[in-house]
């Protein structure tokens, strides 16, 4: 049985297409442990349910017109969890690759990895590399898996590579750093979602998230299904992104764009 077969019927209700879906959504999938504790289950049950939910959300992202999704699956800080849990999270990634790769590939998902493969068991590391290679031509959805990832770590690596490339200090701009991050060829996330009522970035995409909209919900990750995801995207659509500008400037830009596109304002 694949993860897909457990989808709840209500989750498949038709939802109107989104006017302007975010291009890049990043997700901090938090609350697996609390979901399990609430039910008197071991933490592993929470991670398993969280994995099922991930499957649903990947599908929903493609359905809703999201082009890039970045998920925080294992942070550099997660190594300090009990050894058994670390092993389980590694096993989950391996299992997802073993069992889901063909279907993800069929659905047009391009898998990418961000983070360090150093320190990860060789067998798993090579499965990650193979999965990325296998799906590299897919275009429907780019799925960036942040695994053994830390935002500060990423910036340190970027700076090291800038120095290695011999770039002169006065030539270093924000674009230089962006180009040396794991996400160098991708746009910054438009929206970062964090589940389970926490309000931190926890070292996730700290450079790329400078202007991202942030959406938090009390719902634990295993329960954050298709309709909850849709709601987050609707709320994103109602936000006004100003990138440091004033409301008047944004209104003027909107009116100008509307004139160009022949819309009445
Ligand atoms: C946080 O919940 C979640 C994680 C540490 C990552 C787990 C993610 C999954 C199982 C999804 C799929 C994973 C992979 C590898 C593709 P928590 O354990 O911190 O929950 P708590 O804060 O309630 O204890």
The per-residue pLDDT for range 108-119, each reduced to its tens digit, is 999 999 999 999
Whether ligand 1 lies within 6 angstroms of the CB of 217 is answered as no
pLDDT attached to residue 3:
42
User: Measured in angstroms, how far is the CA atom of residue 29 from the centroid of ligand 1?
Assistant: 6
Question: Which residue's CA lies nearest to atom 10 of ligand 1?
Answer: 47
Pocket test for ligand 1, best of 48, 50, 53 (most atoms within 8 A of CB): 50
Whole-number Å distance, alpha carbon 265 to ligand 1 midpoint, is 45
- What is the share, in percent, of the chain residues with pLDDT greater than 70? 94
Question: Is the C-beta atom of 112 inside 6 A of ligand 1?
Answer: no
159 Cα: distance to centroid of ligand 1 (angstroms): 29
Lowest mean pLDDT, pick from 137-141, 148-152, 212-216, 251-255 = 251-255
Beta strands in 115-181 (DSSP E): 141-149
Q: Is the CB of 143 under 6 A from ligand 1?
A: no
* Beta carbon of 33 within 6 Å of any ligand 1 atom: yes
- State the distance from the centre of ligand 1 to the C-alpha of 73, rounded, in angstroms: 6
Task: Find, among 158, 134, 133, 128, the residue nearest to 146 by Cα.
Answer: 128
Domains of the chain and CATH, by start = 20-261 (3.40.1180.10)
Where do the DSSP E strands lie in the chain?
24-28, 68-75, 109-114, 141-149, 191-194, 213-216
Work out the mean pLDDT of the chain and round it to a whole number.
Answer: 92
pLDDT at 245: 73
- Catalytic residue check, 78: yes
Instruction: State yes or no: is 30 an active-site residue.
Output: yes
Using an 8 Å Cβ cutoff, are 215 and 198 in contact? no
User: Does the beta carbon of 111 lie inside 6 Å of ligand 1?
Assistant: no
């Amino acid at each position: 049985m694949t993860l897909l077969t457990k989808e709840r019927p209500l989750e498949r209700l038709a939802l109107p297409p989104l006017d302007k879906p975010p291009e890049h959504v990043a997700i901090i999938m938090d609350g697996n442990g609390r979901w399990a504790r609430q039910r008197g289950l071991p933490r592993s049950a929470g991670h398993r349910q969280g994995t099922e939910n991930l499957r649903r959300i990947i599908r929903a992202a493609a359905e809703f017109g999201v082009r890039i999704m970045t998920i925080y699956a294992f942070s550099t800080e997660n190594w300090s969890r009990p050894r058994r849990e670390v092993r389980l999270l590694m096993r989950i990634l391996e299992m997802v690759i073993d069992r889901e790769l063909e279907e993800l590939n069929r659905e047009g998902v391009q898998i990418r990895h961000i983070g360090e493969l150093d320190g990860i068991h060789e067998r798993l590391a090579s499965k990650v590399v193979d999965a990325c290679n296998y799906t590299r031509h897919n275009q429907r959805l780019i799925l960036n898996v942040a695994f053994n990832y830390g935002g500060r770590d990423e910036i340190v690596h970027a700076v090291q590579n800038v120095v290695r490339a011999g770039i002169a200090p006065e030539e270093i701009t924000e674009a230089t750093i962006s180009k040396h991050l794991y996400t160098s060829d991708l746009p910054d996330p438009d929206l970062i979602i964090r589940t389970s009522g926490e309000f931190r970035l926890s070292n996730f995409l700290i450079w790329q998230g400078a202007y991202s909209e942030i959406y938090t919900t009390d719902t634990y990750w295993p329960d954050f299904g298709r309709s909850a995801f849709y709601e987050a995207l609707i709320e994103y659509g109602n936000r006004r992104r100003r990138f440091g500008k004033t409301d008047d400037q944004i209104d003027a830009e909107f009116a100008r764009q509307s004139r160009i596109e022949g819309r009445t304002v």
